[in-house]
């Protein structure tokens, strides 16, 4: 009897997949490394809440690590580090490899924009002696999650004379914050009857910014006037300057550990700054890789990647072409031989809401970095679907380097779905696969990741760059 059990055990080990919790597999020393890595990650989440702030941070870190502005007329050699900033909202970093660039480059892609509330072009108004900013939500949010959350404001205001003011208010402990109101439950019986998509409507996401009227005169809209006076004193702006501004309201709270065991990170905008940060740490640490390493940290993923700072634009293609030209090569030759890990978050299996997941093909917290062969919705619509050959290559690499990884689809078939930038990079004739960190409460003001998964993503990107 005992012998038979042993046979089954041995066969199971040989033939069946064995999914283990990363936090169980990792040694205490490794777990401490995950925790330490996430201290830096949490700082990044607090400093870089918008694409512009992330871009500024990444540029600063890159310069500190010896990266120089890319010059298409210059000549480069192995080990040289360059960066390119696209309109203050996207960055490309590259470390020149030892191999000829015609052999292709290894691309890491992630996005640095996150769902939020953007101010409308004409945002300032007063209603019944309360001052407000009108917003237009950015990306796919559950609108009902955003009222009663303390918000900070980030962005730029371009004045008529062309000068630009950078705004960050609500982050410092002494700063005021802003907030969207919600109806008290006592009076919400009619609101409760609305479908959840309209529990809070887009035009109800109005941010409260003040309530005291201008005192020394009589007339209408004195709260608005008083607020405009404060804004004029602080920033030197008039109401018309909002017309040429980009102001984004995001949750004001800081990144925190979650749980008695501090195993999870809770923060705004982990989609996809978790992949942006891990990617950044991987490429900043690259010494002299075999193949040229490229990291693209892009904007506009959450609205479909259109626009000149999103990956549907030609900026990545142009950069690769310019880099290729520095070595007398053609951009298309380089792209066709290139490989890409398109790093974006995936849905973590949520034990509270198991019905939308197919458990065998879902990523779990503490399961390691998630490799996703295809995304999309319905019949794989909008996916790039990585080839078995490329999946095999990535699988072998991760196993060889001891990276803890798992696979996962975004939920059950036909329940929903979603896409990433993978398809746009694959469309450039690049072998591309989705790789990323599983997230709970994705697109909510406070998203959750596991520290072991964050660290596993870093290890995966490090392995890919140095492959």
CA 6 to chain centre: 46
Instruction: Rank residues 205 and 439 by Cβ distance to Mn ion and give the closer one.
Output: 439
Helix extents (H) in 66-163: none
| 73: Cβ contacts below 8 Å, ≥ 6 apart | none
DSSP assignment letter at 349: P
Sheet containing 447-450, strands listed edge to edge, beginning at the edge strand earlier in sequence: 256-258, 264-267, 447-450
Smallest distance from the beta carbon of 435 to Mn ion, in angstroms?
Answer: 12
Instruction: Rank residues 51 and 344 by Cβ distance to Mn ion and give the closer one.
Output: 344
Smallest distance from the beta carbon of 183 to Mn ion, in angstroms?
Answer: 28
Smallest distance from the beta carbon of 160 to Mn ion, in angstroms?
Answer: 35
Short-list 356, 462, 352, 465, CA closest to 33: 462
Interface pick for Mn ion out of 53, 241, 246, 272 (rule CB under 5 A)? 272
CA 417 to chain centre: 17
Cβ atoms < 10 Å from Cβ of 181: 14
Smallest distance from the beta carbon of 158 to Mn ion, in angstroms?
Answer: 28
Q: Where does this chain touch Mn ion (CB under 5 A) — which range of 197-205, 269-277, 374-382, 405-413?
A: 269-277
Smallest distance from the beta carbon of 114 to Mn ion, in angstroms?
Answer: 7
In the block, tokens 């290559």 appear at 393
Instruction: Rank residues 263 and 305 by Cβ distance to Mn ion and give the closer one.
Output: 305
Contact present, 362 and 347 (Cβ < 8 Å): yes
When CB distances to Mn ion are compared, the closest residue is: 272
Q: Rounded to a whole number, what is the distance in angstroms from the first to the last CA of the chain? A: 47
Of residues 392-451, which lie at the interface with Mn ion (CB under 5 A)? none
Smallest distance from the beta carbon of 139 to Mn ion, in angstroms?
Answer: 6
**Crossing angle of helices 270-284 and 28-47, rounded to 10°:** 110
What is the C-alpha radius of gyration for the chain, rounded to an integer number of angstroms?
Answer: 24
Q: Does 299 bind Mn ion (CB under 5 A)?
A: no
Instruction: Rank residues 110 and 430 by Cβ distance to Mn ion and give the closer one.
Output: 110
Site mask for Mn ion (CB under 5 A), range 340-369, x = bound: ----x-------------------------
Dump strand ranges (E) for 269-375.
292-298, 339-343, 346-347, 369-372
Q: Where does this chain touch Mn ion (CB under 5 A) — which range of 36-44, 90-98, 209-217, 272-280?
A: 272-280
Smallest distance from the beta carbon of 61 to Mn ion, in angstroms?
Answer: 21
Smallest distance from the beta carbon of 35 to Mn ion, in angstroms?
Answer: 24
Instruction: Rank residues 53 and 344 by Cβ distance to Mn ion and give the closer one.
Output: 344
DSSP assignment letter at 174: T
Of residues 210-239, which lie at the interface with Mn ion (CB under 5 A)? none
Q: Where does this chain touch Mn ion (CB under 5 A) — which range of 51-59, 152-160, 336-344, 360-368?
A: 336-344
Instruction: Rank residues 272 and 350 by Cβ distance to Mn ion and give the closer one.
Output: 272
Q: Where does this chain touch Mn ion (CB under 5 A) — which range of 124-132, 264-272, 376-384, 405-413?
A: 264-272
Short-list 332, 338, 250, CA closest to 293: 338
Instruction: Rank residues 391 and 421 by Cβ distance to Mn ion and give the closer one.
Output: 421
- What would the two tokens of residue 70 be? 């890319």
- For 256, phi and psi rounded to 5 degrees? -135, 155
375 conformational bin, left if phi > 0, alpha if psi -120 to 50, beta if neither: beta
Smallest distance from the beta carbon of 463 to Mn ion, in angstroms?
Answer: 22
Instruction: Rank residues 59 and 344 by Cβ distance to Mn ion and give the closer one.
Output: 344
Smallest distance from the beta carbon of 439 to Mn ion, in angstroms?
Answer: 9
Interface pick for Mn ion out of 126, 271, 299, 434 (rule CB under 5 A)? 271
Report the distance separating Cα 373 and Cα 383, nearest Å: 9
- What would the two tokens of residue 149 be? 């959350």
Q: Where does this chain touch Mn ion (CB under 5 A) — which range of 129-137, 181-189, 214-222, 266-274?
A: 266-274
**What are the distances in angstroms from CA 177 to CA 153, 202, 384?**
8, 21, 42
Q: Where does this chain touch Mn ion (CB under 5 A) — which range of 148-156, 237-245, 268-276, 352-360?
A: 268-276
Smallest distance from the beta carbon of 162 to Mn ion, in angstroms?
Answer: 33
Of residues 7-26, which lie at the interface with Mn ion (CB under 5 A)? none
Instruction: Rank residues 273 and 291 by Cβ distance to Mn ion and give the closer one.
Output: 273
Instruction: Rank residues 271 and 350 by Cβ distance to Mn ion and give the closer one.
Output: 271
| 144: Cβ contacts below 8 Å, ≥ 6 apart | 182, 196, 199, 200
Number of residues that bind Mn ion (CB under 5 A): 3
Instruction: Rank residues 147 and 418 by Cβ distance to Mn ion and give the closer one.
Output: 418
In the block, tokens 């608005």 appear at 224
Contact present, 415 and 353 (Cβ < 8 Å): no
Contact present, 371 and 406 (Cβ < 8 Å): yes
Q: Contact positions toward Mn ion, by CB under 5 A?
A: 271-272, 344
């Amino acid at each position: 009897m005992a012998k038979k059990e042993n046979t089954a055990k041995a066969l199971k080990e040989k033939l069946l997949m064995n999914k283990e919790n990363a936090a169980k597999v990792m040694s205490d020393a490794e777990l401490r490394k995950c925790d330490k890595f996430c201290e830096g990650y949490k700082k990044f989440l607090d400093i870089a809440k918008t694409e512009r702030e992330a871009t500024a941070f990444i540029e600063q870190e890159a310069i500190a690590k010896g990266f120089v502005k890319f010059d298409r007329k210059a000549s480069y050699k192995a080990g040289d580090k360059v960066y390119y900033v696209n309109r203050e909202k996207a960055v490309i970093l590259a470390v020149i490899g030892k191999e000829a660039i015609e052999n292709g480059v290894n691309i890491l892609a992630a996005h640095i924009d996150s769902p939020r509330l953007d101010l409308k072009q004409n945002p300032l108004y007063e209603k019944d002696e309360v001052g407000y900013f009108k917003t237009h939500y950015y990306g796919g949010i559950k609108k009902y999650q955003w009222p009663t959350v303390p918000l900070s404001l980030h962005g730029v205001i371009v004045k008529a004379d062309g000068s630009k003011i950078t705004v960050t208010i609500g982050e410092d402990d002494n700063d005021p914050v802003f907030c969207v109101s919600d109806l008290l439950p006592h009076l919400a019986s009619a609101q409760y009857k609305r479908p959840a998509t309209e529990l809070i409507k887009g035009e109800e996401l109005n941010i409260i910014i003040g309530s005291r009227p201008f005192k020394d005169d009589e007339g209408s809209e004195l709260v608005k006037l008083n607020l405009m006076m404060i804004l004029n004193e602080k920033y030197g702006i008039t109401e018309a300057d909002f017309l040429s501004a980009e102001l984004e309201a995001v949750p004001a709270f800081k990144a925190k550990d979650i749980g008695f065991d501090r195993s999870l990170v809770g923060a705004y905008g982990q989609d996809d700054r978790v992949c942006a940060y891990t990617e950044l740490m991987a490429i900043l640490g690259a010494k002299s890789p075999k193949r040229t390493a490229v990291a693209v940290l892009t904007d506009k993923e959450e609205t479909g990647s259109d626009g000149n700072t999103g990956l549907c634009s030609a900026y990545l293609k142009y950069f690769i072409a310019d880099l290729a030209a520095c070595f007398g090569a053609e951009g298309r030759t380089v792209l066709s031989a290139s490989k890409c890990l398109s790093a974006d978050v995936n849905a973590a299996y949520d034990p509270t809401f198991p019905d939308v997941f197919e458990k065998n093909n879902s990523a779990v917290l503490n399961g390691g970095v998630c490799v996703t062969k295809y995304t999309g919705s319905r019949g794989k619509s909008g996916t790039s679907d990585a080839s078995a050959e490329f999946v095999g290559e990535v699988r072998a690499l991760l196993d060889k380097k001891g990276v803890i990884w798992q696979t996962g689809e975004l939920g059950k078939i036909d329940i929903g779905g979603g896409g990433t930038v993978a398809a746009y990079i694959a469309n450039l004739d690049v072998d591309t696969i989705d790789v990323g960190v599983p997230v709970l409460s994705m697109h909510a003001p406070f998203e959750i990741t596991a520290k072991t998964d964050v660290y596993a993503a870093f290890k995966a990107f490090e392995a890919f760059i140095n492959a």
